A and B are shown apart, each in its own frame.
Chain A
Amino acid sequence: MFKLASKAIEVANKYKVDFGDIRVVEEHTQSISVKDGELSGVTDQVTLGYGVRVLYKGAWGFASGSHMTERAVADTAMKAIEIAKASRRLMAAPVRLAKEPAHVDFWQTPFVKDPFAIPAEQKLAILMKVDAALRKDKKIKVTIAEMHFMREHQWHMTTEGSRIEQVLMSSGAGCTATAVENGQSQTRAYPCTHGGQTLGGGWEVIEALDLPAHADRVREEAVALLSAPTCPAGVKDIIISGNQLALQIHESVGHASELDRVLGYEESYAGSSFATTEKLGKFRYGSPIVNLVADATLPGGLATAGYDDDAVKAQRWHIVKDGVLSGYMTNREFCGRIGKERSWGSCRADGYSNIPITRICNLSLMPGTATMDQLVGEIKDGIIMENNMSWSIDQKRLNFQFGCEIGWLVKNGKKGRMVKNPTYQGITPEFWGSCDAIGDHSQWRLHGVMNCGKGQPGQTATMSHGSSPARFRKVKVGVHG
């Protein structure tokens, strides 16, 4: 594949571009789902193509194609150069990329069992068993049990001499039951909503999730939510589960720390960020116990790879250290704006047909020291909230509102009755500033985000967020229309 890719590099060199690269990507995905007792589908998808990026006299051009011939690759490279020439009509200072050594390497996601080698009937048997358990109660009207697998083979060449081959693999599964009664519906999911839990790895990820062992509880809690009282409104102390906290980290820290957004390059779509560059190293983002670490080397992470799509080697760095803003998600184009000579390496593209953009890396809240009993025991009047249902945050990543699947009241240090439709609202730095306890290492889990949308044309990326449950004081809860 590198032979084919080298045609693009030849063209780029011939036109003396400042920088050029080609990413050839073969992506194989498989989804298997059972819905309401019926086989909803086995879908197998394989795409193969390439994207060529050139920086020509300081301006960007990008073109992609899927005709796998040397002529087509060369034509696509020429198209990228023509587009870059057009970009020069409206430019200020020429784009300069931060330096990175040339890498020649092979990297692949460690896995034990190749999920694509597991027979479809074995996967289906598990899903059918889970679905049957979910549907045991007549109030359950909608059930979904699903598995997803992905293998992405990349060949990346740059005009700087990098030649990187990577094979990324992920596996995931989940189940959902929706109970309906008297015009009301309540949903419960395991291990989390939005397609379940996905991690970097193979079939062993599915085995560890053990969906059948959780189906009965999912069904029972969905039905129980129908008759549970609604989450009370007011200002209360809350404990947020790891799977909900993952999305809180994603929305209020991950996106806020993407340097392209911070600099205004996402303004027209996803928005900008309150975490502007003059705040770096000074701004109190959260309480002193809050440490958020970006890590492209994290085992099992969905953003874990040997290199990002700027050909920068994987790294680990703080975004928030001891409560203070300490870093950003960067690419090679923008890291110089904060005085960094080398990118932290968080630039990725969705498939072959999209240009690499700054992305959230794996981003995790470091564990604290509290047991669950300690988190609960120090609350007089509060709520435990688990599993995300809905999310919304303003375009500078300040005002947010999350809805969760299930909640439990806490009174005088004791976990009490279940409540439905729990919601909470806040302002990012005030919220993280109210964090006064974080669960210990034994409760820390990695949670995958499969649907992170950004950019124009729209791109989807995946990443993971690790967290334990954590406690936040005086939060506005129970916001309803």
Chain B
Amino acid sequence: MKNIELVCKKIFRLAKGVQCEVMADTRDSALTRFADNVISQNVASSAVTYSVRLLDDGRGTKVTFNQADDAYLGHAIKAGLEILKKQKKDPALLPLAKPRPLAAGKNLYFRETAELGPVARAEKVAELARACKKSGQVACGTFENSASELVIANNLGLFARHRETNATYSATVRDRDGSGWAECPAYDVADIPFARLNESARAKAARSRKPREIKPGKYTVVLEPQAAADLLLYLSIYGFGGQMYNDGRSFAAGHLGKRLLSPLLSIEDNALDGVAAGMPFDYEGQPRTKVKLVENGVLKGVVHDRKTARKAKTASTGHALPQPSYMGPIPINLAIKPGQGTLADLIKGTECGILVTQFHYTNILKPQFVEMTGMTRNGTFMVEDGKITFPIKNMRFTQSMVEAFNHIEAVAAETATVSAWGPLTCPAFRLGGFNFSSSTKF
């Protein structure tokens, strides 16, 4: 840490006379990957990256490098200043942000997670691989851990620092023509329920053997939390980012205060505390604020960085991505409000529908309606008269998410966390009239 501060000071000295912002990202990460019941890749990486923005009277440039000896720093900043001089003036370019008080944020750093080594990871994945081998199943997946620190500092006095650890265990199990999957990301490796995840993936793989083909069409769907989270992430990013909103390309544009979604849906972006906590400041070093995006189906707010806030004549909510950014600000610490009952209750209440474990290769078709396509994966089942009756071959959906989440029939109480841009916590959902446009061969 002292080293990072020292490098920042050196950079500020070299950039004397212009505004200067340093983003220093220090990251130690490791990942053990397994397939076919053996470890197939095992890697570790240590890296520090410095991204330096230089601004002067409407001109701006950015240099990024990973070497910080005096000669390298001198060369990089000098090159940046040379480019800066040749820039055209941009009247819309904002000066750097001044320091603002920052909340302490939740502790997201856990020593045991940071220090987890290759032997410990190998032992953990071996538990699943050995069990699968015994039962004729095939295990694949990953177990990864990292420790990172992000510093945003500028020569106007702003200095923001955040550190966190992350661990993710992901298990995919193949059982002849069946497959199952379970995954859990956590800041603290002690929060990962390895045995439960292994059991869930193995049971689902066994249950999804000999899938039958059903006709595409509109079905009631029960979406397990990870499947629902995939769709709600797109809905949130394409609906509630300040730039899309300002450009009129979001379905929320001109509709704040109106109910366009089901009364059973509430979404909040909250990096500060609660279930989806994360870094308490954004990539301009501005404090993150809690933003209600949807409350009981009513569109409540969008997230802004300083640039989109100025255009919208409002204040930044602290959602800037690293600058400059094409995308503009996006919500990345999303908490979807849970409902009542269990996943089993959602299934029990389904007369005829499809249970989806996970979606694969989801993508946007029409951003303004959040119309998407994607495939089901790793366990798709027919539900009839409140019971899972048989596994089905994977299906492709083509569906507007604005429409889909206006037809929520029920929301479960238990949530799962997925790791997307940031943590996203989400319960299981039952939606009516979800459009499956085709099926595949397995």
Residues of A near any B CB (own CB < 8 A): 33, 35, 38-49, 59-66, 68, 79-80, 82-87, 89-92, 119-121, 124, 128, 141-142, 144, 178, 180, 183-185, 263-269, 271, 274, 353-355, 357, 389-396, 398-399, 401, 403, 421, 423, 425, 427, 456-457, 476, 479-481
Contact = CB atoms under 8 A, between A and B. Distances in A.
Contacts of B371: 480-481
A89 B39 contact: yes
Given A399-B440, A479-B398, A59 B47 contact: no
Nearest to B141: A268
A415 B437 CA distance: 28
B396 A425 contact: yes
A92 B172 CA distance: 19
A264 B86 contact: no
Given A64-B44, A91-B38, A401 B138 contact: no
Contacts of B440: 394, 396, 398-399, 427
24 contacts: A40-B324, A42-B87, A45-B64, A60-B42, A64-B44, A64-B45, A84-B42, A85-B118, A86-B39, A86-B42, A87-B118, A264-B138, A264-B174, A266-B35, A267-B138, A268-B172, A399-B396, A401-B398, A403-B365, A421-B366, A479-B398, A480-B371, A481-B398, A481-B403
B92 A38 contact: yes
A229 to B, nearest CB: 15
Contacts of B368: 183-185
A144 B324 CA distance: 13
Given A42-B62, A90-B37, A394-B440, 12 more contacts: A41-B324, A47-B65, A63-B45, A79-B44, A121-B87, A183-B368, A268-B140, A354-B43, A390-B373, A392-B375, A396-B441, A427-B440
Contact of A120 (B36, B49, B86): B86
B275 interface: no
B35 A390 contact: no
Contacts of B60: 39, 41-42
B396 A180 contact: no
Contacts of B88: 39, 121, 124, 128
B67 A394 contact: no
Contacts of B129: 90
Contacts of B247: 141-142, 178, 180, 185
A68 B118 contact: no
Contact of B439 (A40, A120, A399, A481): A399
A255 B49 CA distance: 31
A396 B211 CA distance: 15
Choose among A49, A87, A91 the residue with the greatest number of B CB atoms under 10 Å from its CB: A87
Interface string B79-102: 110010011101011000000000
Contacts of A64: 43-47
Counting from the closest, the 7 A-B pairs by CB-CB distance are A86-B118, A41-B324, A399-B440, A45-B64, A268-B140, A268-B172, A62-B43
B426 interface: no
A457 B29 contact: yes
B256 interface: no
Nearest to B129: A90
Nearest to B441: A398
A401 B92 contact: no
A39 B140 contact: no
Contacts of A46: 63-67, 76
A353 B30 CA distance: 11
A64 B48 CA distance: 12
Interface string B267-285: 0000000000000000000
B76 A390 contact: no
A355 B172 contact: no
Contacts of A120: 83, 86-87
Contact of A271 (B119, B248, B360, B366): B360
A128 to B, nearest CB: 7
Interface of B: 29-49, 60-67, 76, 79-80, 83, 86-88, 90, 92-93, 117-119, 121-123, 125-126, 129, 138, 140-142, 144, 170-172, 174, 247-249, 251, 253-254, 323-324, 326, 360-369, 371-375, 377, 394, 396-400, 403, 435, 437-442
A49 B47 contact: yes
A268 B90 contact: no
B22 to A, nearest CB: 14
A457 B400 CA distance: 31
B64 A353 contact: no
A146 to B, nearest CB: 9
Contacts of B397: 481
Given A395-B377, A421-B365, A89 B126 contact: yes
A79 B46 CA distance: 11
Contacts of B62: 41-44
B42 A457 contact: no
Contacts of B48: 66
Instruction: Please indicate which of the listed interface residues A47, A121, A141, A392 has the most CB atoms of chain B within 10 Å of its own CB.
Output: A392
Contacts of A59: 39, 42
A39 B365 CA distance: 28
Given A271-B360, A481-B403, A38 B90 contact: yes
Given A62-B43, A92-B37, A399-B375, A86 B365 contact: no
Nearest to B80: A44
A393 B394 CA distance: 12
B396 A394 contact: yes
A306 to B, nearest CB: 26
A87 B323 CA distance: 40
B283 to A, nearest CB: 14
A427 B140 contact: no
A63 B44 contact: yes
B43 to A, nearest CB: 4
A216 to B, nearest CB: 22
Nearest to B33: A456
Contacts of B367: 185
Which of A46, A63, A83 has the largest count of B CB atoms less than 10 A from its CB? A83
A171 to B, nearest CB: 18
Contacts of B29: 457
A457 B43 contact: yes
A38 B324 CA distance: 11
A63 B41 CA distance: 11
Contacts of B63: 43-46
B126 A90 contact: yes
Contacts of B142: 268-269, 456
B248 A183 contact: yes
Nearest to B435: A481
Contacts of B398: 401, 479-481
Contact of B118 (A82, A265, A391): A82
Contacts of B439: 399
Given A64-B45, A392-B396, A44 B61 contact: yes
A120 B439 CA distance: 50
B78 to A, nearest CB: 12
A355 B365 contact: no
A150 to B, nearest CB: 13
Contact of B170 (A268, A357, A421): A268
B35 A66 contact: no
B437 A394 contact: no
A202 B361 CA distance: 34
B44 A394 contact: no
A63 B254 CA distance: 51
A184 B364 CA distance: 15
Contact of B46 (A35, A60, A65, A391): A65
Contacts of A38: 90, 92-93
B244 to A, nearest CB: 9
A39 B87 contact: yes
Kindly name the residue among B49, B142, B375 whose own CB sees the greatest number of chain A CB atoms within 10 A: B375
B397 to A, nearest CB: 8
A450 B92 CA distance: 30
B375 A395 contact: yes
Contacts of A90: 34, 37-39, 122, 125-126, 129
